[in-house]
Amino acid sequence: MTTTGTVTRRDQPDAVRRRFAAAGLLLGVGLGGLVDGIVLHQILQWHHMLTDYGGHASFPATTVDSLSENTRWDGLFHAATWVFLVVGLALLWQATSAGHRYSWRGLLGLLLAGWGIFNLVEGVVDHHILSIHHVRDDVVDPMWWDLGFLAFGAILAPAGLALWRSDRADTPAGTPRDDPAPRPGPE
């Protein structure tokens, strides 16, 4: 016996909603990492992965050997961000294939939250705990740049989550935006 009806976001299984949330966050982490790697490492060349390793600039970007080692580690960093993107896309595909309906507002919120989480984790671990690089390794005191990086992440993460939650809270069950899109096929 088949029942027809509208499946809303609130009626979907928790596992599908969690899969979608994880997808958005992982995509945000991956995109945040790519922005960091492309803009700060490559375009602006403010730092590379190991430009302050050991606190004594053991791998400064001023020698060919050090730049070669930094380029290798930058590549590994980009590969890791790529993995976050692939896993996020796989989870997004699974959630939408299971019928999860979403708005761009909710997805954007999760992407921003993931980017903020990336900044917070990468900033605390790489800039402060491991001290392998700073946002600006080309300045005398990089602390303010590192704190600004963390502040940006501390703004993005809760703002993104608030945007995602407001999208879920403002969507009453059964609204047209929640209805599954008709799929082409035989009738």
Residue 70 lies in a domain: yes
Residue 180 lies in a domain: no
What is residue 131's predicted lDDT score, i.e. its pLDDT? 87
Does the pTM surpass 0.75? The reply is yes
Residue 34 lies in a domain: yes
What is residue 2's predicted lDDT score, i.e. its pLDDT? 42
What is residue 174's predicted lDDT score, i.e. its pLDDT? 43
Range of the structural domain that residue 165 is part of: 12-171
What is residue 137's predicted lDDT score, i.e. its pLDDT? 84
Residue 82 lies in a domain: yes
Residue 118 lies in a domain: yes
Residue 112 lies in a domain: yes
What is residue 112's predicted lDDT score, i.e. its pLDDT? 98
Residue 184 lies in a domain: no
Reduced 3-state DSSP string for the chain: CCCCCCCCHHHCCHHHHHHHHHHHHHHHHHHHHHHHHHHHHHHCCCCCCCCCHHHCCCCCCCCHHHHHHHHHHHHHHHHHHHHHHHHHHHHHHHHHHCCCCCCHHHHHHHHHHHHHHHHHHHHHHHHHHCCCCCCCCCCCCCHHHHHHHHHHHHHHHHHHHHHHHHHHHCCCCCCHHHCCCCCCCCC
What is residue 97's predicted lDDT score, i.e. its pLDDT? 93
What is residue 171's predicted lDDT score, i.e. its pLDDT? 47
The list of the chain residues with pLDDT below 70 reads 1-12, 53-58, 60-61, 168-187
Residue 177 lies in a domain: no
* Each residue's pLDDT tens digit, 16-35: 999 999 999 999 999 999 99
What is residue 168's predicted lDDT score, i.e. its pLDDT? 65
Q: How many domains does the chain have?
A: 1
